[in-house]
Amino acid sequence: MLDQPAARLPVSQRTNPERSFTEEVRALRLGDGEIFRGEGILAVTKAILQSGVAYVGGYQGAPVSHLVDVLVESQDLLDELGVHLETCTNESSAAALLGASINYPMRGCVTWKSIVGTNVAADALSNLASPGVIGGALIVVGEDYGEGASVIQERTQAYALKSSLWLMDPRPSLPTIVRCTEKAFELSEATNTPVMMELRIRACHVTGEFVARDNVPPAISRNHRLAEPAAHNYDRISHPPSTYAHEKIKVEVRQPAAERFIVEHGLNEHLPGERSDLGIIVQGGITNVLVRGLDRLEVEGKIPTLVLNVTHPLASDQIADFCRGKRAVLVVEEGAPDYIEQAIHVLLRKRDIDTKVYGKDVLPMAGEYTAEVVTEGLLKFFAQSANDIDLSKPRERFEAARAGRAEAQRLLGGPLPLRPPGFCTGCPERPVFSAIKLLEREVGKVHISSDIGCHSFATLAPFNLGNSILGFGMSLAAAGAVAPVMQKRTISVMGDGGFWHNGLLSGVASSMFNRGDRVLVIMQNGYTSATGAQFIPNTSGNRRDGETTSDIAATLKAMGVGWLRTIRTYNVGTMLKTLREAMSTDDKGLKVIVADGECQLARQRRIRPQIAAQLKRGERVVRTRYGVDDEVCTGDHSCIRLSGCPSLVVKPSPDPLRSDPVASVNNGCVGCGLCGEVADAAVLCPSFYRADIVQNATWWDRLKWKVRSKVIGAMASA
């Protein structure tokens, strides 16, 4: 039961006891006057329940996965309130969910990771924004921006501007985040416009507290169903000629109404300061970084600051009033292009306000605004606009700290090496890339079309496999124009999450439709592992009824894929043979290999508590480990280059006559067997051995051990 193939575990075995949200679920039940303590993203989750949402949905992605993850475990609470939860198969379906608020006065909230998720949702978002909504619609996007981000560096602001969606960017403080969330629904209803709320990593994970309110059961819900559908109203349909009117309403009615609402409800914040001639306008989400910079320069509380918790629309009168009479204003806006700064320039010029606007001239156009970056920008701003402020001491400290870091780097012999992410120890996806490496030894380099997911780590050392990444589930489509011009077939690699997200239609259907002669490897690990092991359609056991929803191989067969193999990933030899066959078969259609192996991280989380319970009951438990025989290892290290397992390390050779270090397996080994498989498939030295560690051994185990020890001892002394 511990080692079932990925897609065939019963649902009771699928839960991760180590990853439980019991505390968070309890926090969602807090009532009037109780104190909520926790992270920003959980505060948003509580705030949407306090706002009377009728439905919630989303697609997982950092840094907002927590919102849906916690609600999945709060089904009892949602049932009591009558709130519908939809775990969507992609962001497009999450955005379309908000269609409920077009015709019905129902509040809804969906979530995903931006910018990639917003790209996927873009079609539905345009069609939602055009007719607008009568029930409050909120989209919580994880603004994965900055130099630790996992996606392309672009801003959600562009979507807010182009589709006339309002964009909130709350200051990372729990009361502000909660107030903005609740006000977002009111703003949405007051202006018939969906509202987006972007939360950077620092806002999602900021911790704090706020005074909770009771959750509000929605008036229309699963518990209070509608007897009749909404009356037909062509104005609510995103189709010409309604769309021509929608465009005008957006700019002539909805935007002015939104600007009024923002001011009347105090959504932006004014932090007072002593200097009447200077000011700072900052995106709410990076206010804490700005405050840190001002504090370092000992000018905190001196410069009036306008915190834009709403960055679209800009409350133009409020901004003009803030700037009027000031000599200079600094706009602190993270990321490119400088949408806000440009808009402020325009609105001031149109009102003949001659305040000098600083922004991207003293701060970098692109890249994350860390405290150091912002502090340096502030120093430049003050140097150019207010040289009466004596910053000599803070500047000295800032320069000294920077010099200290440079000196530390020099002593370390250069910048610290980067620590790019990599496969977990024992990952089931690593063996597939070992097999591809071996294949390339035979057939030469192959064009590899990569995808989003853990398997993208294969684009890094030691595999260095992959020529492009075009989006989640897009690898097969991305090979569309490469495959016809290649003498060798292309290989596209896609995860099962990517397959359901987009790969099935954009890749498989399109390739079949175009009679594409391509190879596709689908990593069937059973979850969207990279985002926290959320369930997907082929996960064994749907969260509602325990029945598995869809099977990848059956789906492919139904679509007409003729060449289809399901291979257990750890069998490197079989995988290599299958890849070889896929690359050389006379079949000119799509060839799919479903590489089956449960995510090792999820597996370890699943089996560890089971093993602990077995040991406690005194039951026999066998743990498999691998090792390297020091005396046999040649010190060639091909095993390390071909598997890349972090548990495979080097150590000095025990043989004084050999200077090369030998390979060694450390205690992190989870016994997946890949190193032994690779050694066998690649015909490396026979130095790997497998050891079964038996705990709570039986009399039979002990007897076998005694006999074996005697025989081996006798052979050794012979």
Note the residues at the interface with ligand SF4 (CB under 6 A).
Answer: 423-427, 429, 454, 525, 529-530, 599-601, 626, 643, 645, 647-648, 665, 669-675
Nearest to 357 by CA among 331, 318, 383: 331
Q: How far is the CB of 74 from ligand SF4 (least distance, A)?
A: 24
Nearer to ligand SF4, 145 or 527 (CB): 527
Nearer to ligand SF4, 63 or 136 (CB): 63
Q: What is the CA radius of gyration of the chain?
A: 29
Q: How far is the CB of 599 from ligand SF4 (least distance, A)?
A: 3
Long-range contacts of 7-10 (CB under 8 A, 24+ apart): 7/524, 7/526, 7/538, 7/539, 7/540, 7/548, 7/551, 7/552, 7/596, 8/540, 9/526, 9/540, 9/541, 9/598, 10/540, 10/541, 10/546
Other beta carbons within 10 Å of 513:
8
Nearer to ligand SF4, 137 or 648 (CB): 648
Nearer to ligand SF4, 322 or 423 (CB): 423
Residues in CB range of 80: below 8 A, 6 or more apart: 217
207-211/35-39 β-pairing: antiparallel
Q: How far is the CB of 489 from ligand SF4 (least distance, A)?
A: 25
Q: How far is the CB of 18 from ligand SF4 (least distance, A)?
A: 13
Q: How far is the CB of 597 from ligand SF4 (least distance, A)?
A: 9
Helices (H), 532-599: 552-559, 572-584
Cα 163 from Cα 101, distance rounded (Å)? 17
Q: How far is the CB of 59 from ligand SF4 (least distance, A)?
A: 18
Nearer to ligand SF4, 375 or 475 (CB): 475
Q: Which helix (H) or strand (E) holds 568?
A: strand 563-568
Nearer to ligand SF4, 353 or 575 (CB): 575
Cα 246 from Cα 234, distance rounded (Å)? 12
Nearer to ligand SF4, 55 or 499 (CB): 499
Nearer to ligand SF4, 92 or 647 (CB): 647
Nearest to 542 by CA among 74, 5, 54, 72: 72
Q: How far is the CB of 621 from ligand SF4 (least distance, A)?
A: 18
428, two tokens: 């089931």
43, two tokens: 């505060």
Cα 255 from Cα 183, distance rounded (Å)? 16
**CB-CB contact of 564 with 558 (8 Å):** no
Q: How far is the CB of 631 from ligand SF4 (least distance, A)?
A: 18
Q: How far is the CB of 601 from ligand SF4 (least distance, A)?
A: 4
Residues in CB range of 235: below 8 A, 6 or more apart: 131, 242, 245
Specify the residue for token string 């209803």: 189
Q: How far is the CB of 426 from ligand SF4 (least distance, A)?
A: 4
Nearer to ligand SF4, 318 or 566 (CB): 566
Nearer to ligand SF4, 17 or 325 (CB): 17
Q: How far is the CB of 20 from ligand SF4 (least distance, A)?
A: 18
Q: Give backbone dihedrals phi and psi of 339, rounded to 5 degrees, phi first.
A: -55, -45
Other beta carbons within 10 Å of 578:
21
Nearest to 165 by CA among 216, 124, 213: 124
**CB-CB contact of 212 with 46 (8 Å):** yes
Cα 611 from Cα 617, distance rounded (Å)? 10
Cα 25 from Cα 578, distance rounded (Å)? 46
Nearer to ligand SF4, 312 or 603 (CB): 603
596, two tokens: 């089956």
Nearer to ligand SF4, 167 or 648 (CB): 648
Q: How far is the CB of 663 from ligand SF4 (least distance, A)?
A: 9
